[in-house]
Amino acid sequence: MRDIVEDIKTRIDIIDLIAEHVELKRAGQNYKGLCPFHSEKTPSFMVNPSKQIFHCFGCHKGGDIFSFVMMVENMTFQEALSYLAQKAGIKLESKGHGSEIRSGIKENLFAIYKEALIFFRNNLKVSKHATSYLNKRGVDNETVEKFSLGYSKNEHDALFNHLKTKGFSFEYIKTSGLISSGDHGIYDFFRDRLIFPIFDLQGRPIAFGGRILSESKNAPKYINSPDSIIFKKGETSYGLNIAKNSIPQKGYSIIVEGYLDVISCHQYGLTNTIAPLGTALTSGQLKKLKRFSNKVLLIFDGDSAGISATKRSIELCYKEGIIVKILLLPQGEDPDTFLRKYGQEGFRKCMSHAISPVEFLLKVYDRSKLDAVRYMLQVIASCPDPLQRDETIRELSDRSKINELTLREELRHASRVKRQASRVDAFQKSGISSPENMEEKMLLSIALSFPDKVMLIANNIEPQIIEDPVIRGIFEKIKKWPSLEKLLTVCDKEEQKLITMLSINTEIDETDVEGIIENCLKTIAMKKLERQIRLAGEAGDVKLLNSLLFEKKSLLQKSKLFLNGGNLAKN
């Protein structure tokens, strides 16, 4: 197993892999980019090509290509292994243990959805009922193909039977959410519905949305597959698997409300359009979207539900540092009806009248101007991008005719309240910059960054004298596994995190590495002695105290002790 891991690591470069998700720029020995795991405006996500590791100084996530894939694709190690093996062109002989069961479920669910997709698409081809609906809505054949639209027959258990004949077990079919069971036995979840398949970014079907076709029925107009281990509604957008290619080209994405809006927009050339699933946009969806562009145009309906959805979406966009504009369509229109009436040209004309969040709130927010301004200040306070904050506040002052300084004062107040709430949390997370055990961290950092110094350090330090248990654990292993790659494979999660963080350290003065090592060793030894002296004093052990004090004195006198072959082992 370890050999395969090594093999994959030699074939896949971490820079290439991460560049598929993050825009990386060279910064000295490292590459820098915006972290895919937390929201930020200035890059604190570093990738080191020579060590093949990454670390984020903002959220402290880090590791190698495997940890990256596991985190970014939400995969288990086993899944990441087979994903990367495939990428590297390596055949996996047999599976390891551990996550086998779960990946078994995942594989089965992917296969079930793939099979169901084929089934629904074939149904559509022979259903007059469904095709005439699509014709009525002006959806052409090319678009039907592009979005893999389908139809679920108005039958009790057509899909269930089909999946059974394909050899899927009842348990897996049930887990997929494609069937329900109740008083009438087992029945298909989607019946007599137009099917909108929902894909992940790799283009695999992971869920379906279904629109009812017989208006008479007393059933919801739209339903979605339930969340499963392959589908998280809050992190998936409709159409992103297609739009992801044109969003970076066009420089922004368009967010509309419904499936048919997305389909119409694409058919009329607005190929950067997506929709949240269900009504509300989520921050999980925006985080994924942001990988492709941080500019968004919101087009929601002009009714009261659409307006509150827009308001909520503005809030989320600011929180994610996304630059947002809003397009208000004429009363009673949605993108689909509007496009069919006025075509692409009419739509583009309308798009040129898109307004800013400030305009939207002052114009549409149905409360007083002051309420709108206060609300907007809250929104601005949550934005991580100082430039975006600054620009918005200036516009807010312009349009509300409230003095900019007054607004800035109010903003400071709003930010302070927000900060106080999050400070405790942030403080607990940032154990990194704490000066505690600085020398131990520095020493480890050097051992990790300067391969030619590893043995020098390892030979001059006994792990027992190290106070920090995580650093001690690493030093216990480093002598046996001095190479970073090997070391990472024998360390636990906590240790790996610290290793990736410390090995991307830009603050070491390279001209005097040995001097720093010496100082660190000395300080660590001194601190250890002082701890022992304090304990001996508390215990009243005079004999021990005296010998420790003597040791301390001689330590202070010797300036060049350790690197000349001395060893601190006996402390």
Write each residue from 4 to 43 as x if it is in contact with Zn ion (CB under 5 A), else as -, in one continuous string.
-------------------------------x-xx-----
Q: Of all helices (H) and strands (E), which one includes residue 181?
A: strand 179-182
Q: Please report how close the Cβ of residue 35 comes to Zn ion at its closest, in angstroms.
A: 3
Question: Which class for 501: exposed (0-12), middle (13-18), buried (19 or more C-beta within 10 A)?
Answer: buried
Q: Please report how close the Cβ of residue 59 comes to Zn ion at its closest, in angstroms.
A: 3
Instruction: Rank residues 465 and 498 by Cβ distance to Zn ion and give the closer one.
Output: 498
Instruction: Rank residues 39 and 267 by Cβ distance to Zn ion and give the closer one.
Output: 39
Instruction: Rank residues 34 and 309 by Cβ distance to Zn ion and give the closer one.
Output: 34
How far apart, in Å, are the Cα atoms of 120 and each of 197, 209, 227, 266, 524? 9, 12, 20, 22, 68
Instruction: Rank residues 38 and 41 by Cβ distance to Zn ion and give the closer one.
Output: 38
Q: Please report how close the Cβ of residue 386 comes to Zn ion at its closest, in angstroms.
A: 18
Structural contact between residues 238 and 262, judged by C-beta atoms closer than 8 angstroms? yes
Instruction: Rank residues 37 and 342 by Cβ distance to Zn ion and give the closer one.
Output: 37
Q: Please report how close the Cβ of residue 470 comes to Zn ion at its closest, in angstroms.
A: 20
Q: Which residues contact 431 (CB under 8 A, 6 or more apart)?
A: none
Question: Which class for 463: exposed (0-12), middle (13-18), buried (19 or more C-beta within 10 A)?
Answer: middle
Write each residue from 403 to 432 as x if it is in contact with Zn ion (CB under 5 A), else as -, in one continuous string.
------------------------------
Instruction: Rank residues 35 and 498 by Cβ distance to Zn ion and give the closer one.
Output: 35
Alpha helices in 203-303 (DSSP H): 240-243, 246-250, 259-267, 283-290
3-state helix, strand, coil in the chain (%, to 5): 55, 10, 30
Q: Which of residues 36-55 bind Zn ion (CB under 5 A)?
A: 37-38
Instruction: Rank residues 59 and 355 by Cβ distance to Zn ion and give the closer one.
Output: 59
Instruction: Rank residues 40 and 261 by Cβ distance to Zn ion and give the closer one.
Output: 40
Tokens of 495: 């240790």
Q: Please report how close the Cβ of residue 27 comes to Zn ion at its closest, in angstroms.
A: 16
Residue 58 interacts with Zn ion (CB under 5 A): yes or no = yes
Q: Please report how close the Cβ of residue 384 comes to Zn ion at its closest, in angstroms.
A: 12
Number of residues that bind Zn ion (CB under 5 A): 6
Ramachandran region, residue 78 (left: φ > 0; alpha: ψ -120 to 50; beta: rest): alpha
Amino acid type, 462: E
Q: Please report how close the Cβ of residue 17 comes to Zn ion at its closest, in angstroms.
A: 17
| CA–CA distance, 236 with 233 (Å, rounded to integer) | 5
Q: Which of residues 264-293 bind Zn ion (CB under 5 A)?
A: none
Q: Which of residues 81-110 bind Zn ion (CB under 5 A)?
A: none
Q: Please report how close the Cβ of residue 58 comes to Zn ion at its closest, in angstroms.
A: 4
Distance of CA 349 to the CA centre of its chain: 35
Structural contact between residues 475 and 458, judged by C-beta atoms closer than 8 angstroms? yes
Residue 62 interacts with Zn ion (CB under 5 A): yes or no = no
The residue among 91, 98, 113, 195 whose CA lies nearest residue 162 is 113
Q: Please report how close the Cβ of residue 56 comes to Zn ion at its closest, in angstroms.
A: 3
Instruction: Rank residues 42 and 202 by Cβ distance to Zn ion and give the closer one.
Output: 42
Amino acid type, 383: C
188 DSSP 8-state letter: E
Question: Which class for 171: exposed (0-12), middle (13-18), buried (19 or more C-beta within 10 A)?
Answer: exposed
| CA–CA distance, 335 with 300 (Å, rounded to integer) | 8
Instruction: Rank residues 61 and 325 by Cβ distance to Zn ion and give the closer one.
Output: 61
Span interacting with Zn ion, options 59-67, 203-211, 234-242, 261-269, rule CB under 5 A: 59-67
Instruction: Rank residues 60 and 193 by Cβ distance to Zn ion and give the closer one.
Output: 60
Instruction: Rank residues 61 and 522 by Cβ distance to Zn ion and give the closer one.
Output: 61
Residue 260 interacts with Zn ion (CB under 5 A): yes or no = no
The residue among 410, 382, 384 whose CA lies nearest residue 396 is 410
Question: Which class for 354: exposed (0-12), middle (13-18), buried (19 or more C-beta within 10 A)?
Answer: middle
Write each residue from 334 to 353 as x if it is in contact with Zn ion (CB under 5 A), else as -, in one continuous string.
--------------------
Span interacting with Zn ion, options 56-64, 117-125, 192-200, 308-316, rule CB under 5 A: 56-64
Q: Please report how close the Cβ of residue 441 comes to Zn ion at its closest, in angstroms.
A: 19
Q: Of all helices (H) and strands (E), which one includes residue 196?
A: strand 193-199
Instruction: Rank residues 56 and 326 by Cβ distance to Zn ion and give the closer one.
Output: 56
3-state SS of 44-107? CEEEECCCCEEEECCCCCEECHHHHHHHHCCCCHHHHHHHHHHHHCCCCCCCCCCCHHHHHHHH
Instruction: Rank residues 35 and 195 by Cβ distance to Zn ion and give the closer one.
Output: 35
Q: Which of residues 135-154 bind Zn ion (CB under 5 A)?
A: none
Partner residues linked to 31 by β-bridges: 26, 47
Q: Please report how close the Cβ of residue 241 comes to Zn ion at its closest, in angstroms.
A: 25
Q: Please report how close the Cβ of residue 504 comes to Zn ion at its closest, in angstroms.
A: 13
Residue 59 interacts with Zn ion (CB under 5 A): yes or no = yes
Span interacting with Zn ion, options 58-66, 73-81, 122-130, 361-369, rule CB under 5 A: 58-66
Q: Please report how close the Cβ of residue 34 comes to Zn ion at its closest, in angstroms.
A: 9
- 3-class SS at 228? strand
Q: Please report how close the Cβ of residue 320 comes to Zn ion at its closest, in angstroms.
A: 13
Structural contact between residues 247 and 299, judged by C-beta atoms closer than 8 angstroms? no
Q: Which of 14, 17, 56, 524 binds Zn ion (CB under 5 A)?
A: 56
The residue among 310, 217, 209 whose CA lies nearest residue 258 is 209
Q: Which residues bind Zn ion (CB under 5 A)?
A: 35, 37-38, 56, 58-59
